[in-house]
Amino acid sequence: MSTATIHWISGPVLRAVSNDTFHIREAVWVGSKGLLGEVVRLKALPESGQELTVQVFEDTTGLRPGDPVQGQGAALSVRLGPGLLGQIFDGLLRPLTGGEERNFLAPGQQPQSDQHFPFQPLVETGRILKGGEPFGLIRAATDTPPRDGLEQQCLVPPTLQGEVVSIAEAGLYSDRAPLCTLQESDGRQHTLAMSHSWPVRTPRPVAERLTIGPPLLTGQRILDCLFPVARGGKATVPGGFGTGKTVLLETIAKWCNADVIIYLGCGERGNEMAGVLDEFPHLEDPRSGRPLMERMVVIANTSNMPVAAREASIYTGVTVAEYFRDQGLHVALMADSTSRWAEALREVSGRLGELPGEGGYPAYLSTRLADFYERAARVQTLSGKGGSVTLIGAVSPPSSDFSEPVTTHTKRYVRNFWALDRKRAHARFYPAIDPLTSYSEDASVLASWWHARGNPNWAAQRRRFLTVLEEQARLERMAMILGKDALPPQQQLVLLVAGLINEGFLRQSAFSSKDRAASPQKQNRMMAILDRFMDLAEQAVANGMSIEQIQTLPLLRRVQRMGEEIGEEELELFTQLEEGMEKAFR
Amino acid sequence: MITANLSLTDATTRIDGPLLFAHRRVDVGLNEAVEVTGSDGHPRLGRIAALDDELMTVEILESTSGLGLRGTRIRFFGEPISFSLGPGILGRVFDGVGRVIDGGPPIATRSRMPVDGAVLNPIRRKKPEDFIETGVSTIDVLNSLVRGQKLPIFSGGGLPHNRLAIEIALHARLRAGQETTETQSPFAIVFAGIGVPFETAEFFRRSLEESGALGRTALFLNLASDSSTQRLLAPRFALTAAEYLAFVEGRHVLVIITDFTNYCEALREVSASHGEIPGRKGYPGYMYSDLATLYERAGSLQGKPGTLTQLPILTMPSDDISHPIPDLTGYITEGQITLNRSLDREGIYPPVGVLPSLSRLMKDGIGPGFTHPDHPALANQLYASYARATQVRLLANVVGSDGLTPDDRRMLTFGQQFEQRFIRQEKARSLEESMNEGWSLLRQLPIGELSRLNDQQIDTYIHGSD
């Protein structure tokens, strides 16, 4: 193992000299506590040996010249295995477990207890396995009915292959215990365990990338119907503070139809993480009936944790997502917030003395963002299954200015843009997504999915809603000059209908038990009702009905509140509402 | 290895701004505390900022004037900057670096804690959900404060933020019937003035004294005349004391820090003197992370009785909420109470600008089992209606109230009434009084405007109690 000696240190950056070999991006242990760091620069010294520059991911208090640096011989890697689901980790995927003795986090390595999982072999000796193929199954230890937890696979690391020469019997094993031995044609042998390491900055290989697939259903009407995102797609949520980014991401994490959720708190609040940990275990996944926490991996790098680890955490998160994707699962990753990651990048870059670009960010910000978002994909895995990683990244633009570098660069790489609007948030209108500045490039791909699932008019209705909302903004500007009374009845009707779309359809309370997540069926019914209302009201106005008359219809309040009043198991009430509507306009 | 209480004389090679370079003749670690004494005999606190084979760089946290290359003594503590704390800190007054300045005896030390604090493990945090009644309607009903929260007051020069902060501190209590043995721990206030004028410091001290609360308060004063590098340490010493009171003594601690704008100015000044690359408006790029290490020290731990609630005050430069200081703060804290200058001009006290205010943890502390089952709906409806009234007011400013529809005119009246009857208050109100005031305001609106209320709430509160 290569070693070096510190000879200069300031903040999280140190320089060390060594006669051994080190590589760029190699992970190192620093000092007696074994702080985790990464080699970022190498320079030959005039005499002999080399000088390495290391960024340390943890608090460096107490380090001094003369302290040792030890190379790990591999790039910064994380251990991927069955113990990830339902757990919470720091930005370097070290579990944040522990009792009272770990009330406060201390830098350095923590002893980790071995976890044991029930293993079931899938192959016999003599079988040839390629990288990425499963050799065993793990059924998560859930004794509680009604249904089993997620079944996980033990994968051959993507870079290895060979003939199975030994395989363990079914039983309870530690996730690091050797279970399977592969022999390559040249005689080299590899021992495999349930878990394996993978370097975080390297995307995991796939057999083939596919075009983006069916929608990632979020249960949020404004997203699913107006600005949908496809599985394997990427979306960004920019918004100033207090516009509801975190609540929106948490809501999607709760109700979206992915198999596994990676929730990445990157430079965010500790109390929010406590809230997630308090709430998610008590919520039930509507599809499996199991606690929602069982399909989650939480990576928490709160704002007061060391900055360099925040820079790494985003890669950690997406690597974990790819690991589950490779098992043939659909994964959604929420990153809150990528701006904090970019700031970490800026800070580390500044300490290394690099030339700053726009807004002080390093010139490679855009490349790094592209690297991250390009890891979203729908793929055929090495073992021939279908899987996907959908990325949803929040952006926190300073002063809510969407022209700042992180927002503009992100916009170049994502296909879906969900802009949060401060005015809506001030009126407590959530989700505060502004329908006029947001867009979804995935919508055109997804229309056929909706058309095949009970709503042949989806694309037309969506277009109509967006047109009405656009028209509303124009008319309101006009009303500012003329006064509302001066608008002709047809235009006043547009304002009324737009209000109804906003109140009755787009607004959706994340805390209402009936309305927090809407099924595609419910969304279809609601869209149809509003669509029909527009037809009827336009007809009525043309026949001489006044706006006041429409405004005082008792039915209007029912339409306004239909989302909150009609639950998933009583969708037939929508038929009653439709009938009532036909009657009211007759 | 000998490190503790070692000193070094005449090792200094260069002094440049706040930085002092010296030969590394003793074994010291990064970030450890030192005391630098010049020939004037005045001790200055510092820390080791960088180390190499021959030299060490000391960052001096106080004024360097009077130091020379000769006759400067550096004393090494062998540990990061720490604060000696004990049960006697309540009722005492300290300067920004934790030295007693009230003329009393020194503090008997029970534990010594590094002022930079340690990171609270997110999984050991307790979810904050104990509703605190502050007596202010706009906070209790619309932006509820809970124990363990960090809720800053965004203010401006000349607005009554100090009066509001002290009133909240003195009135803050759990609601009757909510007290359980677990929540009954003693209460304490930690007040930190960062770069405040003498009058402000005196206002707080006097108010606390008159109300009899000084005995359970620890005061940290970094006056405007003190060194600006010390300003960076004042909140750290104050929060360390608060952590001691909360997590060692098990008290419910309310920390008031004023004024964070001065802190950030000092940060900018020190960063510039280090020759760092400036970010937005000259503030250093790491200001977010730096502020986070302070604000994130609010919270409570599972299985421990104490809580640490922060009420930081900052004055927005030229009332601009998009200025980096309030902007970054808003991204870290759990909401904000914004004070509004035009309400203040109209003589409305407390002049809370309702729309840009927010409490993120409110949802966990209100509703059934906490305050009142209909509290969330009421808050929601008041917000929606007041936002609409504000919009109508904008319209009326252009077209005049004649161009408005009758419904719009009713909204206009609602907006005025809301400000005069709900925001303005002569004395502290209980939550029930505040809620009743809210319902009575909503009663003047047509049912069609009340889309956030369900039918039952309309029957009970709108039709029911005329």
- Residue A234 — φ and ψ, nearest 5°? -140, 140
Closest chain A C-alpha to B329 CA, distance in angstroms: 9
A108 in a domain, yes or no? no
Residue A526 lies inside a defined structural domain of this protein: yes
CB contact (8 A) between residue B29 and residue A64 = yes
Q: Are residues A173 and A218 in the same domain?
A: no
Q: How many CB atoms lie within 10 A of CB B420?
A: 12
Same structural domain for residues A264 and A336? yes
Q: Which of A61, A104, A274 sits opposite B80 (nearest CB)?
A: A61
Same domain, A387 and A523: no
Please say which residue of A77, A97, A112 terminates a domain. A77
**Rounded Cα gap, residues B314 and A412, in angstroms:** 36
Whether residues A188 and A230 fall in one domain:
no
B48 bridge partner residues: B58
Residue A280 shares a structural domain with residue A353 = yes
**B149 with A96: Cβ contact below 8 A:** no
Distance, in Å, from the CA atom of B235 to the CA atom of B257, rounded to the nearest integer, reads 7
* Integer Rg of chain B from CA: 25
- What is the share, in percent, of chain A residues with pLDDT greater than 90? 70
User: Residue A133 — pLDDT band, cuts 50, 70, 90?
Assistant: very high
- A471 belongs to a structural domain: yes
Confidence of residue A141 (pLDDT cuts 50, 70, 90): low
Answer yes or no: do B332 and A274 touch at CB < 8 A.
no
Looking up residue A155, the CATH number of its domain turns out to be 2.40.50.100
- Among residues A17, A82, A85, A89, the alpha carbon closest in space to that of A54 is found at A17
Among 3.40.50.1370, 1.20.1440.230, 3.40.50.12240, 3.90.105.10, what is the CATH number of B84-365?
3.40.50.12240
Residue A98 has pLDDT above 80, yes or no: no
pLDDT at A300 over 80: yes
B110 CA: distance to closest CA in chain A (Å):
19
Q: Which residues from chain A sit within 8 angstroms of residue B299, using beta carbons?
A: 270-271, 274
The number of C-alpha atoms within 13 Å of A385 and in the hemisphere containing its C-beta is 15
**Chain A contact set for B274 (CB, 8 A):** none
Domain that holds residue A31: 3-77
Domain B6-80 matching CATH 2.40.10.170: the answer reads yes
pLDDT over 70 percentage in chain B: 96
Question: Residue ranges per domain, chain B?
Answer: 6-80, 84-365, 375-463
Domain annotation covers residue A279: yes
Cβ <8 Å between A104 and B395: no
Q: What is the pLDDT of residue B400?
A: 82
Which one of A6, A17, A245, A271 makes the best mutation probe of the B interface by having the most chain B beta carbons within 10 Å? A271
- Determine the distance in angstroms separating the CA of B212 from the nearest CA of chain A, rounded to an integer: 33
Cβ–Cβ under 8 Å, residues B262 and B196: yes
Q: Are residues A438 and A470 in the same domain?
A: no
For chains A and B, CB pairs below 8 A equal 230
Shortest distance, CA B38 to any CA of chain A (angstroms): 25
Q: Do B403 and A274 touch (CB under 8 A)?
A: no
Q: Are residues A436 and A482 in the same domain?
A: no
The average pLDDT across A36-48 equals 90
Which residue in the set A240, A347, A551 is minimally distant from B285, CB to CB? A347
Residue A444 in 3-state DSSP?
A: helix
Please list the pLDDT of chain B residue by residue as tens digits (466 residues): 344 458 888 889 999 888 899 998 888 999 999 999 988 888 889 999 999 989 999 988 888 888 888 889 999 998 999 999 998 999 999 999 899 998 999 999 999 999 998 888 988 999 998 899 999 999 999 999 999 999 999 999 999 999 999 999 888 888 766 655 555 668 899 999 999 998 988 998 899 889 888 888 999 999 888 888 889 999 999 999 999 999 999 999 999 999 899 999 999 998 888 788 888 888 988 899 899 999 999 999 998 889 999 999 999 999 999 999 999 999 999 999 999 999 999 999 999 999 999 999 998 899 888 899 999 999 999 999 999 999 999 888 888 887 788 888 999 999 999 999 999 999 999 999 999 999 999 999 998 889 999 999 999 998 875 5
CA distance B105 to chain A (A): 32
Q: ipTM of the predicted structure? A: 0.89
Residues A279 and A306 in one domain: yes
| Strand residue runs (E) in B200-341 | 217-223, 252-258, 299-300, 307-315, 335-339
Mean pLDDT of A16-36: 92
In a domain, A563, yes or no: yes
Q: What is the CATH number of the domain that holds A531?
A: 1.10.1140.10
How distant, in Å, are the alpha carbons of B255, B324, B326 from that of B314?
Answer: 14, 12, 7
Q: Which of B445, B318, B310 is nearest to B388 (CA)?
A: B445
Q: Of B24, B121, B356, which has the smallest distance from its Cβ to A102's Cβ?
A: B121
Model pLDDT for residues A495-521, shown as the tens digit of each residue: 999 999 999 999 999 888 889 999 999
**Is the pLDDT confidence value at A202 over 90?**
yes
- The DSSP element (H or E) to which A231 belongs, if any, is none
B328 CB-contact burial (10 Å; exposed 0-12 / middle 13-18 / buried 19+): buried
Counted domains in chain A: 4
Q: How far apart are CA B245 and CA B240, in angstroms?
A: 9
Q: Per the CB < 8 Å rule, is B80 touching A557?
A: no
Q: Is the residue at A199 inside a domain?
A: no
CATH of residue A346's domain is 3.40.50.300
Q: What is the pLDDT of residue A144?
A: 47
* A204 assigned to some structural domain: no
pLDDT at residue B316 in the model = 95
For residue B431, give Cα distances in angstroms to A188, B137, B415, B436. 74, 7, 21, 9
Q: CA of B203, closest CA in chain A: separation in Å?
A: 32
Q: A483 and B334 in contact by Cβ < 8 A?
A: no
Q: What is the pLDDT of residues A252-279, one digit of tens each?
A: 999 999 999 999 999 888 888 888 888 8
B29: nearest CB among A62, A98, A275: A62
Whole-angstrom Cα distance, residue B143 to residue B54?
Answer: 56
**A489 and A538 part of one domain:** yes
User: Does B118 sit within 8 Å of A427, measured CB to CB?
Assistant: no
A279 with A254, same domain?
A: yes
* Higher-scoring residue by pLDDT: B165, A353: B165
Contact across the interface for B31 and A61, Cβ inside 8 Å: yes
Establish if A65 belongs to a structural domain.
yes
Contact yes or no for A392/A333 (Cβ under 8 A): yes
Q: Which residues of A touch B325 (CB under 8 A)?
A: none
A103, A278, A340: residue with CB nearest B121? A103
> Do A262 and A144 share a structural domain?
no
CA distance B186 to B205: 21
CB spacing of A343 vs B402 below 8 angstroms: no
